[in-house]
Structure 1
Amino acid sequence: MIDHLVYAVPDLALADDLGIALSPGGPHVGLGTRNLLASLGGDAYLEVIGPDPEQPEPDGPRPFGIDDLTEPKLVAWAVRVEDIDEAVERAKARGYDPGPVMSMSRVRPDGVLLEWRLTPPVAGILPFLIDWGSTLHPSASAAQGAVLESLLVTDYDKDAAYEGLKALGLRDFAMGYGPPGLMAEIRTSDGEVVLR
């Protein structure tokens, strides 16, 4: 179900204070971002994403509102699917359009090329969809030791948010009442880390 959580930071140096062991992911060429990764158990992982000082300024804004961040924030999450085109059509038939499918890639520090297809990776309480095809899943090479205990999605309009989750096939996902947002509880060898 959950493929990964996206924790955006205004500066990747802030990841040192996270309390979770992270490994280098790689740059998103042209987007002006780079990421660090941690396996969360199962086939899920945490992506910490921020500006890449080694890249030129991108033509447009960096994803997930990174350019406007003043502090780290859990901004998005992704759900893994095996046939993304079919999953998008199924969601549309159920009343929710997750957006057009696009292709992306990045090269890991060890030179391995990762390629995937996804719906627009935008910040929000509803997940975007991702299909890794035949690419080795990033959780396999990410830093180990953390476990995702829970992910809570909150919104004042729980019914509308839940309808979107149901359209994506996430019928049993728990919702909380409150300001729109995400909260993850992650267990590490040094204790629990809460990301908001």
Structure 2
Amino acid sequence: MNTIPSRLDHLVLATPDLAATVAEFTRRTGVTPAPGGVHVGLGTRNHLVGLGGRAYLEIIGPDPEQPAPAGPRPFCVDGLDRPRTITWAISPPDLDRAVAAARASGYDPGDVREMSRRRPDGTVLEWRLTDGGAPHPSGLVPFLIDWGSTVHPSASGLPVTPLSEMSATAPDPDEIRPLLAALGTSLTLAEGPVGISFRVDTPNGPVTFT
């Protein structure tokens, strides 16, 4: 059975200490994540690892070189006490049509807004995503993203740890499944505390992250 969701764009591993988490990922896998860039004004930066195909892992945390942002940092990094796979993203063929279809099916993924980050070489990447104004609190329902004419991060020469499995647990999986269906994707779900786990193939063997 294929346990990798259709249209997977990226997984988000959020952390309160980016440098420590990148070092730990490197130690466990034997692969060093590449610097991704800075989210100017949001107080975060990221490192990236390819997951095979058109998918990647985003490790995101506070940027010590930026001043404290006016509001909360993305992905609840201010409230974390450890690294956690907090959510994921899919990339539908037509973002606006996918949003309309989800709303027609009874799930509102939020409005679409524009985002950007600056890579270490100074290149500014721009994309559109659903802002998740009222996202499902579990993080198990993905947000939607469209990279437009920007070169996709997976095509920028990232180190790669191929994704072999992705799954999640939820107190009521039957609540989550219709929301995933409304977005045209799926996720292997079991009953349990809210959480996402994934396994990658690495030079050190298979490694699982949660």
TM range (shorter): over 0.9
Residue 198 (structure 2) pairs with residue 191 (structure 1): no
* Aligned amino acid, residue 3 of structure 1: D
Q: What is aligned with 2:24?
A: 17
Per-residue CA deviations over 1:70-90 (Å, capped at 9, x if unaligned) read 111000100012321111000
By how many angstroms is 1:97 displaced?
0.6
Cα distance in 2 for residues equivalent to 1:27 and 1:44: 20
Per-residue CA deviations over 1:135-156 (Å, capped at 9, x if unaligned) read 1000112532301111102112
Q: What is aligned with 1:74?
A: 85
Q: How does 1:69-108 map to 2 (within 5 A)?
A: 69-108=80-119
Per-residue CA deviations over 1:105-145 (Å, capped at 9, x if unaligned) read 11211222211000126671110000011110001125323
Q: Please give the TM-score of this superposition, normalised by the length of structure 2.
A: 0.89
Q: What is aligned with 2:3?
A: none
By how many angstroms is 1:186 displaced?
1.1
Cα distance in 2 for residues equivalent to 1:194 and 1:42: 19
**Secondary structure of the residue that 2:181 maps to in structure 1?**
helix
Consecutive unaligned residues in structure 2, runs of 5 or more: 1-6
Q: What is aligned with 1:154?
A: 169
Cα distance in 2 for residues equivalent to 1:35 and 1:174: 27
Cα distance in 2 for residues equivalent to 1:191 and 1:141: 24
Residue 37 (structure 2) pairs with residue 30 (structure 1): no
Q: Please give the TM-score of this superposition, normalised by the length of structure 1.
A: 0.95
Cα distance in 1 for residues equivalent to 2:99 and 2:146: 11
Contact 2:40–2:118 (Cα < 8 Å) also in 1: no
Contact 1:5–1:76 (Cα < 8 Å) also in 2: yes
**Secondary structure of the residue that 1:188 maps to in structure 2?**
coil
- Counting matched residue pairs gives 195
* Aligned amino acid, residue 9 of structure 1: T
Contact 1:186–1:194 (Cα < 8 Å) also in 2: yes
C-alpha root-mean-square deviation of aligned residues, in Å? 1.4
Detail structure 1 runs of 4+ shifted over 6 Å in the superposition.
Answer: none
Residue 66 (structure 2) pairs with residue 55 (structure 1): yes
Cα distance in 2 for residues equivalent to 1:189 and 1:141: 21
Consecutive unaligned residues in structure 1, runs of 5 or more: none
